[in-house]
Every structure is written in structure tokens, then in C-alpha cells.
Amino acid sequence: MKLYNINLKSNIILGSSRYPSPQVFQNCIKRTGTKMITVAVRRLVPGSEDFLKIIKKTKCHILPNTAGCFSVKEAVATAEMARELFKTNLIKLEVIENKKTLKPSMRGTIKATERLIDKGFKVLPYITDNLNFAKEMESLGCEVIMPWGSHIGSGRGLDNLSKLKIIREEIPDKTLIVDAGIGRISHICQVMELGFDGVLLNSAVVSSKSPEKFAEALSLGMKAVQTSIKAGPMEQRAFATASTSNKGKPFSK
């Protein structure tokens, strides 16, 4: 999928949080086949350096986030610190308005996006499934837009399939990624069957009993759904259509 000037050879972006060990993290990257991982910035503590080494070793593209930012000022400063640390203009923008739902603020995200684009960032905004929100992001110049499927870390999947479908229909030319709420492989299939370009997930992998196995399933699931889309699935019909011919049916008159 296309993320600004990057042609990512995977439709999965993987979060880097809460793995039981660096080795499991590395294995999950390999098994999903992802080429991009999300990272955060937090106050410097001894040992932080080790994480930077780990992510550099993955050779994946790095997508820093502004997780936990509730104000435009915080989000912009966090993005700028991330740019210097990770040497990338890409930023996964999160401007949150509600602690319980981690719902992104439309007003805050718009303001922060404007400022960040002015500063030369390539913004990947985390938004709700509200079409107006998505259209605002498109009109500001975002090449990638990331609506939520459901609440972050909920694993519920896609709360509003029809809303996401409308976003896809109304914004046909931008890269659309479902960010947040993915819990199962079937959710990924739904996302891709809606015509989205990819998924961004973290909790689904690390909250499974076997992250490495789940990572493998992710890769298999993505391959399966992409192959089925290429095959051109049948149209849905309102009523039954017999698959067995009636020609030669016994007892018929």
C-alpha cells in the first residue's frame, strides 16, 4: 500500500507495545511480514536506548505516534521530538478527547494536522468513522487516513461497517487504514473486503495467548482475503439460487 512516498510491501502495520520480550517482538514482525512498525516517545529512562536499537534492527519503516496527547500543542511538540529522534516526517497523529474511549478529537486533529503539514510532516491521522472527519483530513492534504474500527484495545472489530464503507466510497483515491479495534483475523478480512488498503494493530497480537501464532495467522489471513478479492467474489443475492441443476431431476413432470 502507498503511504506518501513509500510503497509498503505489506498491508499490515504493527504496533511495538507490550510484547513479552524483544525476541517475541522480532518473531512477530517476521511472521506478519510487516514492513512498518509504530513507536512512541516517552520520558527518557535508563534502558530506553535498548528499544531504539531493537527497532533499528528490524529494518522496518518507523511510524512514530503522538499517543496520549490531549492537546494540539502537546501533539505538535511530540511529533517534532519524534521527527528528530526517528528521522522521519511520517507521524501517526492522535489527538484524544476522551480518556475512557480514547476517541480522537475532530477539532484538535484538524488543528494539529494543519500545523504539522505546515512544518513539513506527512500526517497519518487516527480518526473516528465519521465521514466529515475523514473528508476534512482529505481536504487538508492527508494522503493516508486511519479511521477506527472500534475503541483502541477493545478487540471488537468494526462497530460501524456501513460508515466505513461510505468513507471508502467517498474517498476512493486515498490510502485508508483501519487503526484500532482489530481483535480477530475475520476483522481484517472485513476491512479488506470493504476496499480498505490495510490495517494497523497491536493489541490483537500481544493480547492473544500466543502472539507469534497470531502473527502468523495475520499474514495467512491477509493473503487469503487479498487472493479472494483478486478472484472476484460472487455478488450477493436476496433469494436462493439452486446450485444443482433441475435438469433430469427424478419425479419431475
Partner 1 sequence: MITISLNGEEVTLSNDINLYDFLREKFSFKMSFAVALNGEFVSKSKYKRIGINPGDEIEVVSAHPGG
Q: Does residue 29 interact with partner 1 by CB under 8 A? A: no
Q: Does residue 55 interact with partner 1 by CB under 8 A? A: yes
Q: Does residue 57 interact with partner 1 by CB under 8 A? A: no
Q: Does residue 17 interact with partner 1 by CB under 8 A? A: yes
Q: Which stretch binds partner 1 (CB under 8 A): 131-139, 163-171, 200-208, 232-240?
A: 200-208
Minimum separation from the CB atom of position 17 to partner 1 (A): 4
To 10 degrees, the CA torsion angle through 44, 46, 48, 54? 170
92 among known catalytic residues: yes
Q: What is the DSSP letter of 65?
A: B
Q: Does residue 148 interact with partner 1 by CB under 8 A? A: no
Show the cell assigned to 67: 499517543
CA 44 to chain centre: 27
Among 77, 140, 161, 185, binds partner 1 (CB under 8 A): 77
**Short-list 138, 200, 189, 141, CA closest to 167:** 138
Q: How many CB atoms lie within 10 A of CB 21?
A: 9
The whole-angstrom separation of Cα 252 and Cα 103 is 61
Size of interface with partner 1, in residues (CB under 8 A): 37
Q: Does residue 65 interact with partner 1 by CB under 8 A? A: yes
Q: Does residue 44 interact with partner 1 by CB under 8 A? A: yes
> Of 39 and 192, which CB lies nearer to partner 1 in the complex structure?
39
Which sign, positive or negative, has the C-alpha torsion 127, 132, 134, 139?
negative
Residue showing cell 487516527: 126
Largest CA distance in the chain: 85
Minimum separation from the CB atom of position 194 to partner 1 (A): 22
- CA 176-10-166 angle, to 5 degrees, is 20
Residue 233's H or E segment, with its range, is none
> Of 17 and 224, which CB lies nearer to partner 1 in the complex structure?
17
Q: Does residue 150 interact with partner 1 by CB under 8 A? A: no
Q: Does residue 117 interact with partner 1 by CB under 8 A? A: no
Single-letter code of the amino acid located at 150: S
Q: Does residue 127 interact with partner 1 by CB under 8 A? A: no
Binding interface with partner 1 (CB under 8 A)? 15-19, 38-45, 48-49, 51-52, 55, 64-65, 67, 73-74, 76-78, 80-82, 84-86, 152-153, 201-203
Active site positions, annotated: 92
